Structure 1
Amino acid sequence: MQGEHHNLSWEPYHVLGGDRASRWLIVCDHARNRVPDWVNGGDLGIAAEDMQRHIAFDIGAAGVAKRLAELLGAPAILSNFSRLVIDPNRGEDDPTLVMQLYDGTLIAGNRGISQASINERLERCYRPYHEAVTDLAARHDDTVIVSVHSFTPRFRGRPMRPWHCGLLYGGDTRLSLPLVQLLEQVPGLVVGANKPYSGHLIGDTIYRHAIVPGRQNTLIEVRNDLIESDAGQAEWAERFAKLLPKALAAAES
């Protein structure tokens, strides 16, 4: 799949509502499936349909993040590069930082990638993104970080996942546990506590910007078939915009 060509205007992230005053900060690590033109000519050597799958970005997550930020009066930061270029939600020394095989798809443009190429992606994508998150988070002494992701209903060859949404949390459960309890009160909603994955990874976005500095946080995962449409994105953003302040009040009571 060919990437968009913006030689001089390449930006590794977008900040929306940077002047909004709320202590909430919404981050979306896997907002886009874009391959910059300076990465293999904008082509990772996989089929166009694979670039539309969950392996390339978190389907629907950007729309939820944008709407949630608006409703909370908060800034949002969204990545502007595919997770297959480099994954900002991994530590720099994580072996899955640049994926060569993902859910049955060989990422030809990443096969045998050189350290020099990884370093270029770190310098032009990964590090500027994290520097911007650092700056946004530092605007308040009591910033609360919400990371918005989505997950596929099913990996190839594996069973269907039963959850509609999940919350991921590591050592800091202050916000996540009351939010889980509130979500579990929604009729018909199947909620995963540290599902479909468990906790956080050392060096990931929440670890770097929330766990280490001691900021309250949660990582939201919504099943991507529920947020493919604008209506689904709005529904879930509104749900979290209603429940997050209640969870924060419970965490701080």
Structure 2
Amino acid sequence: MTEIRGHEVSGEEAGVEPPFRLIGEGLPGRWTITCDHASNNVPSFINGGTLGLPRLEMERHIAYDIGAEGVARHLSELLGAPAVLSTFSRLVIDPNRGEDDPTLIMQLYDGTVIPGNRHLDAAERERRMARLYRPYHDALEALASRRHDSVILAVHSFTPRLRGREPRPWHVGILFGHDDRLARPLIARLRAEGDLCVGENEPYAGYLEGDSIDRHALRKGRPNALIEIRHDLIDTPEAQRRWAERLAPILSAALADAGV
């Protein structure tokens, strides 16, 4: 289990690239903020730091959630609560998937073949699990366990349009599984803003067995919500701060409404 101390912790051991970054871990708030897809980095032990994709592909949404890290960092500050951020691309291994999920390590995503994953064997899969996936989840659980009444907030972003698909109209979506205690008042608060197209379990389904929310919230009985923001709305530092400043009071009010 990762020990949490100081203002910002990387989880880094000597000579090893960090699989996660913790910010604001000393902050007292109930929220535990997660950003599973914060980075498009490929660690150096993966084919020398490449999956065989050109830079422009690694800058697409297939590699990480554009803008989500900045929003999560600002929310940590504004809500007075800690956050855990991944430091490896979802294409290397996706921390928001269960260990047995066939999409844990993608070989094809939104029309792009991932060369570095095409001939993945069991040993390489286990190496990525041991060095990246499991340490990230250990850190997340340690952070969430610091309080008995932790509330999990997962911050993600989504592409305005998948290849060959219709444009997505939502500005923001709230995803949830069988526990909607926080999600329902949060959706209501967002819709009450009047200028937002708010998705309910859109643009994705709200539950995948073994995903981060299932693992750290649903199975533990922790109130939770996963927020998806369309990434063209948060693709600059200024926009990320604006969205965090808008969301923070809405999140606080929704938590009060939920009474959990």
Give the one of 174, 179, 182 matched to 1:167: 174
Aligned residues: 248
Q: What residue in structure 1 maps to residue 218 of structure 2?
A: 211
Q: Offset of 1:9 from its aligned partner?
A: 4.1
Alignment-derived partner of residue 69 in structure 2:
62
**One-letter code aligned to 2:112:** T
Matching of residue 155 in structure 1 with residue 172 in structure 2: no
Candidates 91, 95, 101, aligned match of 2:102: 95
1:117 is the counterpart of 2:124: yes
Partner of 1:68, secondary structure, is: helix
Tell me the distance in 1 between the aligned counterparts of 2:75 and 2:111: 33
- Residue 71 of structure 1: which of 59, 67, 78 is its match? 78
The residue matched to 1:90 in structure 2 has which SS? coil
Match of 2:136 among 129, 132, 135: 129
- Aligned residue for 2:220, secondary structure, equals coil
Cα distance in 2 for partners of 1:7, 1:58 equals: 28
SS at match of 1:166: strand
d(CA) in 1 for partners of 2:112, 2:241 = 31
CA–CA distance in structure 2, aligned partners of residues 40 and 94 of structure 1: 23
TM-score (norm 2): 0.94
Residue deviations 1:41-89, cap 9 Å, x none?
Answer: 1010111100000000000000000000100000010000000000000
Q: 2:92 aligns with which of 85, 96, 105?
A: 85
| Cα distance in 2 for residues equivalent to 1:181 and 1:30 | 26
CA distance in structure 1 between the aligned counterparts of 2:205 and 2:91, rounded to whole angstroms: 21
Out of 239, 244, 257, which is 1:250 matched to? 257
Runs of 4+ aligned residues of structure 1 deviating over 2 Å after TM superposition are none
TM superposition score normalised by structure 1: 0.96
State the partner residue of 1:17.
24
1:195 aligns with 2:202: yes
Matched, 1:182 2:189: yes
- Deviations along 1:194-232, whole A, 9 cap, x unmatched? 100111100000000000000000000000000001121
Tell me, what secondary structure is at the counterpart of 1:77?
A: strand
2:59 to 43, 52, 63: 52
- Distance in 1 between residues matched to 2:183 and 2:245, nearest whole Å: 17
Q: Greater CA deviation, 80-89 or 240-249?
A: 240-249
- 1:252, distance to aligned residue in structure 2 (A): 0.6
String of CA shifts for 1:177-208, please: whole Å, max 9, x gaps.
Answer: 00000000112210001100111100000000
In structure 1, list runs of 5 or more residues that go unmatched: 1-5
Contact 1:7/1:37 (8 A) holds in 2: no
Q: For residue 121 of structure 1, give the secondary structure of its aligned residue in structure 2.
A: helix
Letter in 2 for 1:147: A
CA distance in 1, matches of 2:84, 2:69: 9
Other-structure match for 1:145 = 152
CA RMSD, Structure 1 to Structure 2 (Å): 1.1
Distance 2:43 2:252 in 1: 37
- Secondary structure of 2:238 counterpart: helix
Aligned to 1:227: 234
Q: Hey, what's the Cα distance between the residues in 2 that align with 1:158 and 1:248?
A: 35
SS in 2 for 1:35: coil
DSSP 3-state at the match of 2:56: helix
Instruction: Identify unmatched segments of 5+ residues in structure 2.
Output: 1-12
